[in-house]
Structure 1
Amino acid sequence: MEPHVTADLSPEGVATITFFHPAQNAMPSFLLRQLAETIQETGQNPATKVIILQSGGERTFCAGASFDELAAIQTEEEGLTFFSGFANVINACRTSPVIILGRVQGKAVGGGVGLAAATDYCFATQHAAIRLSELLIGIGPFVVGPAIEHKIGVSAFSQLTLNASTFYSATWAQNKGLYSEVFETTAELDTAISAFARALTAYHPAALQELKKVFWQGTEHWNTLLTERAAISGRLVLSDFTRAAIARMKAKN
């Protein structure tokens, strides 16, 4: 299957947004741009009452940013553009007027953890372990960090960031507040998220919109903050340390 982003709206007002890339749902810039635009457009549709954000495939929710595209960055401007991809998706989720439910069926790495954190209520399976591996290549989770910290707090975010080679279990992520509910199987996950979404469609839309603002209170400056964070990563990716780390990883693969 080719990389894609799709949006389907049910008669009840449940919009399901699906992103997919054959490389374990690693996200190149063009796909992140499509995803941000789709979230914005879907949220502004008066017929949309709730959004489910999910990825295609079974094994991995999102492997983060495209490694090949990361390795091709040559200037700070290119770096800023590249790292702004997840920033734009996070801001699209944050500013959407409707509640966004996350469906995390498998592992989430780097930017994938940021996507899960950008949803308002996240469902996962027991296979949905998480890892922030950015330090392994000499950068850090600067762009996705605010969303993750917003959900799990500074202490858990620090643990996740500094133990860059460690996968933390879905149970750990639930205990820290990233996941709201964790299920044994994908079938159980889908049953639960469908029922939850349908229940939300029966609530007063204005009340849900006001609650959304409450959930994200204090993040109004994130358009600027995440751009500043993207610039940090854009500089670091050009360093000799990171260039060498990327070269070693490419050779290994």
Structure 2
Amino acid sequence: MDAFVTSTIKNGIGTITFFHPQGNSMPSAQLAKLTAEIEKLGNDTTVKVIVLKSEGDRAFCAGASFDELTAITDIETGKAFFSGFANVINAMRKTPKFVIARIQGKAVGGGVGIAAAADYTFATNAAEVKLSELTIGIGPFVISPAVERKTGTTAFMEMSLNATDFYPAQWAQQKGLFAEVFDSVAEMDNAVDTLATKLAGYNPDAMQLLKQVAWENASHWDILLQERAEMSGKLVLSDFTIKALEAFKAK
């Protein structure tokens, strides 16, 4: 299948689904579409709650598109690419609707950031997480505010420094990244539907105010995440990163 981002609305629940044939990785076009869908459902008065999910059963999101990373040749292009993840995270933060994330498989790099930016995150036992950015000479700068907000600095640094290691879903739950972890996709989907249905019946004004309270210390992220995107945009042009990406593609 070709890459896509789609959304549906049913009984007050807006569901966004994304897919990319390379492990649900995220090129710029995909990030822009995802941001637009989040903003669209956030502004739709018929939508009371948003569910974010990906297709497939092995990977939730493999993070940045390596094909696009290797094509970056200047700082502005690099900053623009990493700003795509900043825009998704900020859209999730700023939408007046609660965002429920459904994590059915592995999440790497930016995929961990998306999981962290959700207001409530369900996962299966297969939902291992990894921050691999340091292995290619950059860092998880754009996603760090969202991940640290959920897990704390200690867990964030543990993942960041052990950049070749996947951490199990149970670890992610213990650190606060995942709210609930299930043995099967069916059990997880039942829990997602149950919570989404409940939220769709609650007072939208109360939920909007509760979301504002939950995110009240993140009002500076519009600027902060763009600054972080510039950090990565510069580092992706370093000799270390260029060689690391070439080695990765040669595998």
Using the size of structure 2 for normalisation, the TM-score is: 0.99
Query: How far apart are residue 244 of structure 1 and its match?
Result: 1.0
Q: Which residue of 1 aligns with 2:8?
A: 8
Counterpart residue identity of residue 2, structure 2 = E
Write the mapping of 1:120-135 to structure 2, written as runs, cut at 5 A.
Answer: 120-135=119-134
Q: Which residue of 1 aligns with 2:66?
A: 67
Distance 1:31 1:241 in 2: 27
Q: Which residue of 1 aligns with 2:186?
A: 187
Q: Deviations over 1:126-164 (max 9, x none)?
A: 000000000000000000111001111111101111110
State the secondary structure of the residue aligned to 2:216: coil
Listed as ranges, the gaps of 5+ residues in structure 2 are none
State the secondary structure of the residue aligned to 2:219: coil
Write the mapping of 1:18-33 to structure 2, written as runs, cut at 5 A.
Answer: 18-33=17-32
Distance 1:96 1:36 in 2: 10
Query: How far apart are residue 201 of structure 1 and its match?
Result: 1.2
Query: How far apart are residue 248 of structure 1 and its match?
Result: 1.1
Query: How far apart are residue 58 of structure 1 and its match?
Result: 0.9
Count of aligned pairs:
251
Counterpart residue identity of residue 125, structure 2 = Q
Q: Deviations over 1:72-93 (max 9, x none)?
A: 1000000001111110000000
Distance 1:17 1:38 in 2: 7
Q: Which runs of 4+ in 1 moved over 4 A?
A: none
Query: How far apart are residue 180 of structure 1 and its match?
Result: 0.3
Aligned Cα RMSD in Å?
Answer: 0.6
State the secondary structure of the residue aligned to 1:218: helix
Query: How far apart are residue 96 of structure 1 and its match?
Result: 0.4
Counterpart residue identity of residue 190, structure 1 = D
State the secondary structure of the residue aligned to 1:102: strand
Write the mapping of 1:131-142 to structure 2, written as runs, cut at 5 A.
Answer: 131-142=130-141
Counterpart residue identity of residue 193, structure 1 = V
Distance 2:139 2:74 in 1: 18
Q: Which residue of 2 aligns with 1:221?
A: 220
Q: Deviations over 1:199-233 (max 9, x none)?
A: 11121111100110111111101010000000000
Distance 2:232 2:26 in 1: 16
Q: Deviations over 1:32-57 (max 9, x none)?
A: 00000110011110000000000011
Counterpart residue identity of residue 202, structure 1 = G
- Give % identity: 56
Counterpart residue identity of residue 8, structure 2 = D
Using the size of structure 1 for normalisation, the TM-score is: 0.98
Distance 2:248 2:44 in 1: 43
State the secondary structure of the residue aligned to 1:25: coil
Query: How far apart are residue 60 of structure 1 and its match?
Result: 0.2
Q: Deviations over 1:96-149 (max 9, x none)?
A: 000000000000000000000010000000000000000000000000111001
State the secondary structure of the residue aligned to 1:161: helix
Listed as ranges, the gaps of 5+ residues in structure 1 are none
Write the mapping of 1:136-155 to structure 2, written as runs, cut at 5 A.
Answer: 136-155=135-154
